[in-house]
Amino acid sequence: MCNELGHGLLESIYQKAYALALEQAGLRFAQQFPIDVSFRGIAMGEFRADLVVESLVIVELKALQAIESAHERQLTNYLRATEFEVGLLFNFCPKAQFRRLIFDNDRKVARAAAGISQ
C-alpha cells in the first residue's frame, strides 16, 4: 500500500485504502470495531480497533515515525479485552513496518470447552 500511496499521508487515508484492499480481496471486515472494557463486571469504557478482519484478527494502523512499545501495548490491550488472539500492527510512515502479536485468551478457550460460539 505504501508503494502505491507513498508515505506521509494521514492514518485515515491508509485505513480507507486498507479497507478497499480487503474488500477487493473478498475478505469480511469491520471498521472502528467497538471493544468494551470492564472491571469487576462493570463497564468502564470503550476502545475502537481500526479493523477486525474475518472476525479473527484485530488490525491497528499507524502513520507515525516508528512503531513504539506504547502501540504494541495498545494492541495487546485490545486482544486482552476481546476473544481475539491475533493482532496486526501496521505503520506506514516513513518506511512500512509490521508487528504480529499473539495473546492467548482463556475466555476463548473456556467458551470453546463449554460449546459456546462467538
Domain ranges in the chain? 2-113
Q: What is the fold of 2-113?
A: Lambda Exonuclease; Chain A (3.90.320)
Asked if 35 and 82 touch (Cβ cutoff 8 Å), the reply is yes
Q: What is the pLDDT of residue 94?
A: 81
Provide CB contacts within 8 A for 116, sequence distance 6+: none
Whole-angstrom Cα distance, residue 52 to residue 41?
24
Q: Is the pLDDT of residue 87 over 60?
A: yes
Give the angle subtended at the CA of 101 by the CAs of 17 and 84, to the nearest 5°. 80
87-98 burial by CB neighbour count: b if 16+ within 10 A, else e? bbbbbbbeeebe
- pTM, two decimals, is 0.82
Q: What is the pLDDT of residue 117?
A: 47
